[in-house]
Chains A and B, each alone.
Chain A
C-alpha cells in the first residue's frame, strides 16, 4: 500500500491541485442538489434534482479515475432508477404543483438527528484521514481492469447477484399484479395467466338468467335456440332475445 504521511506528501492543505478544486466544486453542486431533493415541496422536482445529484456523483467517480463505475452510475441511476421513480410518482397520482404535506411532522427531530450525525461523522472522518492523500497518477478503475477483476476474482458474487436480480424481477411482477378481486379491474382479469375462480361465476350469471328467460318461453323453438347458443355468451343472449320476441309475437 502506497500510503503517504504528511511530511513527504507533495500536497498541502492550502495548495489544492486542479483535481481537488474540481472535486470540491462538483461536490458543492452535488450536495446542493441533494439538499434540494430532500427539502423541495414539489415531488417531480425532487426526482429531477436527484438526477443532478447522481450525475454529480458520476463526475466525482470520473475525478477519482473510476471511469467504469461512473458510466455504470450514469447508465443505471440516471437512466433507469430516476425513470422508475418518476413512473412511481405518476402512478401514485402525485400532485404536480406544490404539496404542503410533503414533510411529516417529525421534521425538527429529523433535522436534529441529521445535523448531529453530520457533525460527529465529519469530525471523526477529518480527524482520522487528515494526513492521507490519494495518488491519482495512474487510473485505477478502467474498464479493462474492472472487467478482468470482476470476472476473475468476483465471478461467484456476480452470478449470485444475477440470481438476486431475477428474484427481484419476479417479486416485482408478483407484487404489482392486479388483485383478482379488485373492483373495476374486470377488464384485466383476462390478461392474467391464471383464470380467477370468481370470473366464471360472474360470467355464468347472465347465462343462467338468459336460460331462464328462454325456458320461460315454453315453446320448442325457443328451447332449441337456447341449446344451440351454448357456445358463446353473446350469441346465446341474442338468440334468447329472438326467442323472447317470437314469444311476444305469439
Chain B
C-alpha cells in the first residue's frame, strides 16, 4: 500500500477536526471534533508503525496510550461541560466570556442573569470580571446563607 493514502487521510481528518473545533458552538460538538483530531493522529501512528516495522511497536503502543488518554479526556471534558451547564444554563462556548477584557466596562454582561442574588447583596465582588463559576457559586451561597 502506498504510504500516502493513510497519511493523506490522516491529514484530512485532522483538518476536519480542526474546522470543527474552531467553528462549533456547542462544547460537546467541540469535544467530538477533538476526538476526530486524536483519531487522525492514531491513524498516522499505526500507519508509520506498520511501515517502519518497528521491533518495539512504538506506534501501536502509543496508539493504545492515546486511546486511553482520549477516554480520560472525554470523561473530564464532559464533567466540566456538565458543571458549566449546571452553573450557567448553557453549554455554548461563545457565551463563556467572563475572562474577556471588555474595553468599555469592567463587568461581565453575560453573567448578570445568573448572579442576581450575589449582585444584589455583594455588588463589589460580583462585578469582578475574572471570577470563575465555582467561585461565584460559593459567593452566592455565602450570600444566601
Contacts and interface: CB of A to CB of B under 8 A. Distances in A.
A23 B6 contact: yes
The majority secondary structure among interface residues of chain B is helix
Contact of A176 (B26, B61, B83): B83
B115 interface: no
A132 interface: yes
B79 A175 contact: yes
Contacts of B17: 34, 38
The majority secondary structure among interface residues of chain A is helix
Interface residues of B, number: 76
B56 interface: yes
Contacts of B3: 129, 132-134
Contact of B79 (A31, A106, A111, A176): A176
B22 A106 contact: yes
Contacts of B24: 38, 102-104
14 contacts: A38-B20, A60-B9, A64-B1, A64-B50, A66-B50, A69-B42, A113-B18, A121-B14, A134-B2, A134-B51, A149-B60, A172-B75, A181-B138, A198-B141
Interface of A: 1-2, 11, 13, 16-17, 19-20, 23-24, 27, 30-31, 34-35, 37-38, 43, 46-47, 50, 53-54, 57, 60-61, 63-66, 68-69, 72-73, 76-77, 80-81, 84-85, 87-89, 91-92, 94, 101-107, 109-111, 113-115, 117-118, 121-122, 125-126, 129-130, 132-136, 140-141, 145-146, 149-150, 153-154, 157-158, 161, 164-165, 168-169, 171-172, 175-176, 179-182, 198
